[in-house]
């Protein structure tokens, strides 16, 4: 093999003239379904072309004196491998891509380094000296070539994997009744009726009950509920409830009714502002 020097058009022209001759004289008007068909048509065409006399040689090409046949044989014996090779790590989908096509590989080598060897006829994948895929090369575009045994092995491994990573069921935990917790904490032990202890019935008779700041709690809770109207009205509603001896349910209904009325009123005002008009 002789590598041409840079800026040497004469030498490069001699090399490129032969492919140019094939491209202009052999390829036009022909269709090929596979590399074997291409090679067959070229062999038939060369048999016709080599029978023509060449002006440079002064005779037909097939009758030329091949004095370099012995040297050609030596070159052929030491001819380097021309197959396309590359190394990659097999992904989780156990397919490798060559050109625009995908070829399946045995899933047992997922995540390992594999070597892809391809020529005009076959595509082979080797891992640690062992062939893990061997397919006929596809020359169409965007094809997926799968081996049935490899696909079945992938399904088996996938089912095993799902069984391993699936979380174990949670154990059943006994749920105790809430009164049991009240009894354990002493929340209802001092009441004869089992109710919640209050200021009149403290848990510990000898220990005074801590005073609660109800006003501060109301401010905090109404702020958390975003109910400013209820915060302003709860004092008046509480006085009215004491005067009229309302029950707890009636007092709660009055508080909720006041807050709902305020929100409906504010919502109407917001819709009017959004519409770009003011009420008369």
Query: pLDDT tens-digit profile of 115-141?
Result: 999 988 899 999 999 999 999 988 888
Would you give the DSSP letter of residue 245? Answer: T
In the predicted model, is pLDDT for residue 189 greater than 60? no
Burial 105-125 (b: 16+ CB within 10 A, else e): bbbebbeeebebbbeeeebbb
Model confidence at 277: pLDDT above 60:
no
CB-side exposure of 88: number of CA atoms within 13 Å?
14
Please give the Cα distance from 167 to 90 (Å, whole number).
28
Tell me the range of 10-14, 144-148, 187-191, 201-205 where mean pLDDT is highest: 144-148
- Cβ atoms within 10 Å, residue 4: 13
* Secondary structure element (H or E) that encloses residue 134, with its range: strand 130-136
Q: Rounded mean pLDDT of 19-39? A: 86
Give the model's confidence band at 72: pLDDT under 50 very low, under 70 low, under 90 confident, else very high: low
Q: d(Cα 263, Cα 52) in Å, to the nearest integer?
A: 102
pLDDT for res 116: 94
Q: Does residue 195 have a pLDDT over 50? A: no
pLDDT at 236 over 70: yes
The per-residue pLDDT for 75 is 52
Rounded mean pLDDT of 156-170?
Answer: 73
What are the CB-based long-range contacts (under 8 Å, 24+) for 141-149? 141/100, 141/101, 142/100, 142/101, 143/100, 143/101, 143/102, 144/95, 144/101, 144/102, 145/101, 145/102, 145/103, 145/104, 146/104, 147/104
Q: Please name the residues in contact with 142: beta carbons below 8 A apart, sequence gap of 6 or more.
A: 100, 101
pLDDT of residue 102: 94
Residue 81: is its pLDDT beyond 70?
A: no
**Domain residue limits, the chain:** 10-64, 84-164, 178-203, 225-273
Report whether 120 contacts 147 (CB < 8 A): no
Length of the chain: 280
pLDDT in tens, 34-50: 778 888 998 998 888 88
Residue pair 117/126 in contact by the 8 Å Cβ criterion: yes
The pLDDT value given to residue 194: 47
> Of 47-61, 185-199, 208-222, which range is least confident?
185-199
- Tokens standing for 78? 């030491």
pTM above 0.85, yes or no: no
Contacts of 133 (CB under 8 A, 6+ apart): 96, 103, 104, 105, 106, 123, 124, 125, 147, 150
Helix (H, G, I), strand (E, B), or coil: what is residue 119?
A: coil
Whether 112 has a pLDDT exceeding 60, the answer reads: yes
Give the pLDDT of residue 62.
Answer: 65
Range of lowest pLDDT (58-72, 119-133, 254-268): 58-72
Give first-to-last CA distance, the chain, whole Å. Answer: 100
Question: Which is nearest to 106 in space by CA: 127, 79, 121?
Answer: 127
Residue-level pLDDT at 213: 75
Residue-averaged pLDDT of the chain: 77
Considering only residues 122 and 263, tell me which one the structure prediction assigns the higher pLDDT: 122
Per-residue pLDDT at 199: 46
Average of pLDDT values for 83-112? 91
- Please tell me the predicted confidence (pLDDT) of residue 147: 93
Query: H-helix or E-strand containing 126?
Result: strand 122-127
| Range name among 156-170, 175-189, 265-279 with the lowest pLDDT average | 265-279
The answer to whether residue 250 scores a pLDDT higher than 80 is yes
């Amino acid at each position: 093999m002789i590598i041409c020097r840079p800026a040497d058009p004469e030498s490069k022209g001699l090399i490129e003239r032969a492919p140019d001759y094939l491209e202009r004289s052999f390829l036009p008007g022909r269709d090929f379904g596979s590399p074997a068909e291409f090679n067959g048509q070229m062999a038939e065409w060369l048999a016709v072309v080599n029978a023509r006399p060449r002006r440079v040689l002064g005779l037909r090409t097939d009758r030329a004196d091949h004095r370099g046949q012995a040297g050609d044989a030596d070159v052929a014996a030491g001819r380097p491998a021309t197959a396309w090779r590359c190394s990659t790590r097999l992904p989780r989908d156990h397919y490798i891509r060559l050109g625009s096509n995908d070829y399946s590989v045995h899933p047992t080598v997922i995540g390992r380094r594999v070597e892809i060897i391809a020529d005009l006829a076959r595509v082979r994948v080797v891992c640690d000296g062992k062939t893990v895929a061997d397919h006929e090369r596809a020359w169409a575009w965007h094809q997926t070539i799968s081996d049935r045994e490899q696909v079945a092995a992938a399904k088996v491994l996938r089912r095993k994997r799902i069984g391993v990573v699936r979380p174990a069921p949670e154990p059943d935990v006994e749920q105790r009744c809430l009164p049991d917790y009240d009894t354990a904490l002493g929340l209802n032990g001092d009441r004869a009726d089992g109710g919640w202890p209050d200021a009149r019935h403290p848990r510990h008779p000898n220990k005074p009950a801590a005073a609660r700041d109800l006003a501060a709690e109301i401010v905090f809770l109404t702020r958390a509920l975003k109910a400013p109207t209820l915060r302003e009205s709860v004092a008046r509603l509480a006085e009215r409830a004491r005067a009229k001896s309302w029950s707890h349910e009636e007092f709660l209904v009055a508080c909720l009714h006041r807050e709902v009325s305020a929100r409906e009123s504010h919502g109407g005002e917001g819709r009017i502002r959004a519409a770009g008009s003011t009420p008369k």
